[in-house]
Amino acid sequence: MTRKWGAGQRLVGMVRSPRATLDRVIQQPRSLDLGVLVVVISAACTAGYLSTHVGQLAGLDQQVRQLESFGVVITDDRYSQIRRLTPYRPVLSAAAIVVGWPLTWVVLAGIVKRFGDRFGAAASYGQVLAVVVHASAILAVRALVALPINFARESLGGATSLSLVMPAFGESTFPARLVGALDIFLLWWVGLMAIGLGKLYGRPTVPIARWLLGVYAAGAIAIALAQALRGGI
């Protein structure tokens, strides 16, 4: 009988040897323990940072900039209201991860299985969910990497975006916003999803990766375009 891997071992396996890890996961689908680990790490990093003085100021600045990007005028009264909510943001952000991420995984696995069934492939919902959750293990790594970067930059958001490694564009230009909307770890997640789904459905990895990248890129373009139109391209 094959010895079962613990959640921590599988998280490391998704970084070091994702193909071998996904092979075993598909044969013995497990999701709950790793899902809990990913959520706990991500929520703890987010709430921990937002509980610090640096994180509170960064969160306040981010919220103000987001509202301004939607054309909202930040008056003194509105700023005071936003600031009063700052102490509650660590709990709210952690709750969004604890509730939102598992719900997203469950829904996404259902969508993927629905499309996969059209190819006549025999894959159970548990196998699809296991692939989705294990690909999302990289989000826990992102949280651990982003934490010290956010502290160093005294900011929130964009710690793992492509803009950090491709700072060649003006900050307010459309290319800069597009690059900033693309996250290195989400691109990694796309690659892991493509590998897992390719193995699960017996399909080539590259076409699946292209399709997933197309969906992700379309979302990033829409976000960057909306920001550029509000701020002036």
Each residue's pLDDT expressed in tens, for the chain with a length of 233 residues: 345 679 999 999 999 999 999 999 999 998 999 999 999 999 999 999 999 999 999 888 888 877 776 667 777 788 888 888 888 999 999 999 999 999 999 999 999 998 888 776 778 999 999 999 999 999 999 999 999 999 988 888 777 877 665 555 545 555 556 666 678 899 999 999 999 999 998 888 999 899 888 888 887 677 666 655 555 44
Expressed in angstroms, the distance from the first to the final Cα of the chain is 60
pLDDT value for 1: 38
- For residue 31, the SS3 value is coil
- Structural domain harbouring 190: 7-231
pLDDT value for 31: 92
CA distances from 36 to 32, 46, 98 (A): 6, 15, 9
* Residue 38 counted as domain residue: yes
* Residue 2 counted as domain residue: no
* Residue 69 counted as domain residue: yes
* Residue 125 counted as domain residue: yes
pLDDT value for 77: 82
Q: What is the count of structural domains for the chain?
A: 1
* Residue 12 counted as domain residue: yes
**pTM of the predicted structure, to 2 decimals:** 0.85
CA distances from 228 to 44, 59, 208, 224 (A): 33, 22, 30, 6
* Residue 1 counted as domain residue: no
